[in-house]
Amino acid sequence: MRSKSQIISSLLDPGIIAVVRAKSADQIPPLTEALLEGGVVAVEVTMTTPNAIEAIREASGKFGARALIGVGTVLDALTCRLAIEAGAQFVVSPVTRPELAKVAHAADRPIMLGAYTPTEAQLAYEAGADFIKIFPADGLGPNYIKALRAPLPHLRMVPTGGVDLHNVAEFFKAGCVALGVGSSLISQKILADSNWPELTRVAAEFVKAARGSSRGVLNKS
């Protein structure tokens, strides 16, 4: 079993977290395999995926040694606990719920709490978040991250929403430690067509962009 510090190190390298909103739980195994082939190891299975807990359990059993299977869109402590028991190695919430941090830390799992404003970001940090999910980042862009980090350099920020191949480098340059990538990586067309070779190709492009970026900060501690 990976320790919390080992999980964090893997989340930051290459720093691309695939945000998965699959149409069915059956898509998770081939989708995960395709992402792994493209070099993306962090797979966030959102609770909006049908039968998400069972999907996490199956994926963790099959890919646990190769991938980081996490849970996303967590809104309450019970869901957090059930997902971790099913094998989730990291927890992501779009909101700041302090009780989620307590559950995750009790299981030695990192947690990412959601925030939008400077006040929310700092409160998430004070609640025990290992990472701050800046959400929704659509329309905010790298300059917003740079502005946030000026007074709050201690925050490890992970924007989600609006991240694509064209701005990966700029987000990292602004000081992000990782990026949550959803539809620009796992498009609705890829899901509808079950086009896993295309997913592998796009995943490899994101990994290439991440590894080629000049990061403003990379704190693995």
Divide the 221 residues of the chain into consecutive groups of 10 and give the mean pLDDT of each group. 94 97 96 98 97 98 95 98 98 97 98 97 98 93 95 97 95 96 97 97 97 62 40
Rounded Cα gap, residues 56 and 29, in angstroms? 10
Tokens of 2: 């990976």
Instruction: Report yes or no on 220 lying in a domain.
Output: no
Instruction: Report yes or no on 216 lying in a domain.
Output: no
Question: Residue 64: what pLDDT?
Answer: 84
Q: Which of 133, 189, 198, 220 is labelled catalytic?
A: 133
- Respond yes or no: is residue 133 known to be catalytic: yes
Burial tier of 131 (Cβ tally within 10 Å: 0-12, 13-18, 19+): buried
Total domains in the fold of the chain: 1
Taking phi over 0 as left and psi of -120 to 50 as alpha, with beta for the rest, 180 belongs to beta
Q: How many CB atoms lie within 10 A of CB 212?
A: 11
Question: Residue 221: what pLDDT?
Answer: 40
Q: Which of 23, 33, 37, 44 is labelled catalytic?
A: 44
Question: Residue 158: what pLDDT?
Answer: 98
Sheet (strand 68-72) strand order: 157-159, 131-134, 111-115, 91-92, 68-72, 42-46, 16-20, 179-181
Instruction: Report yes or no on 219 lying in a domain.
Output: no
- Respond yes or no: is residue 102 known to be catalytic: no
Q: How many CB atoms lie within 10 A of CB 30?
A: 12
Question: Residue 217: what pLDDT?
Answer: 45
CATH assignment at residue 104: 3.20.20.70
What domain range is 195 assigned to? 4-211
Question: Residue 215: what pLDDT?
Answer: 65
